[in-house]
Amino acid sequence: MDFYEVIRTRRSVRSFKPDPIPEDVIKRVLEAARIAPSGSNRQPWKFILIKERSAKEEVAKLCHGQGFIAEAPLVIVACGRRIDFNRGDYMGDMSMLVDVSIAVDHLVLAARAEGLGSCWIGAFNNSALKEFLGIPEDYNVVAVIPIGYPARDAFKETSDRKPLGEIICHERFQ
């Protein structure tokens, strides 16, 4: 699939078929995340793969009750390790958010290229997820990503984006 088509047609999917995802497909999607760039090649990420129904239901509950998460055949919890690096002279130990977000973006685009739908979930209880999943103190959850084959036609372009002229400036912020 053409790279730009992948980008144009990636959508947040919230309704999944129960069909399992072949292991080779999961491996390719995870490989895309693994090879993502990170500041000073620190790679401060860990991905927790959840397939067990009861665990997915608990994760959905800890994502403010977003029940559709548990319907996906696979839920990936992306975690980032706090690092002693102050990006932009203001991000401090949370600068890993940039690196993990790049890896998650690679992951969701690779999922789309494989015909899988995903949804980048940012609404969750970090402390409760850490406790439930045994995530160490020096890590935080960055995103929860349910992945599966969409239950209906989901891959359409959108016109719901600002035009390029509204988001770019030349030489200085305008």
DSSP 88: G
Separation of alpha carbons 139 and 74, rounded Å: 21
**With 0-12 CB in 10 A as exposed, 13-18 as middle and 19+ as buried, what is 107?**
buried
pLDDT of residue 94 exceeding 90: no
Percent of the chain with pLDDT over 90: 84
Separation of alpha carbons 168 and 174, rounded Å: 9
Tokens of 144: 């929860």
What pLDDT does residue 29 have?
Answer: 98
Q: Which domains does the chain have, with CATH numbers?
A: 3-167 (3.40.109.10)
pTM of the prediction?
Answer: 0.94
Query: Mean pLDDT, to the nearest integer, of 102-120?
Result: 98
Tell me the pLDDT band of 150, cut-offs 50, 70 and 90: very high
Separation of alpha carbons 68 and 92, rounded Å: 34
pLDDT of residue 95 exceeding 90: no
pLDDT of residue 55 exceeding 90: yes
What pLDDT does residue 70 have?
Answer: 98
pLDDT of residue 110 exceeding 90: yes
Token pair 């760039």 in the structure block, residue? 37
Query: Mean pLDDT, to the nearest integer, of 27-49?
Result: 96
Estimate the share of the chain in helix, then strand, then coil, as percent rounded to the nearest 5: 40, 15, 40
Percent of the chain with pLDDT over 70: 100
pLDDT of residue 86 exceeding 80: no
pLDDT of residue 13 exceeding 90: yes
Tokens of 79: 């975690």
What pLDDT does residue 76 have?
Answer: 98
List of residues 6+ apart from 35 with CB closer than 8 A: 106
pLDDT of residue 85 exceeding 80: no
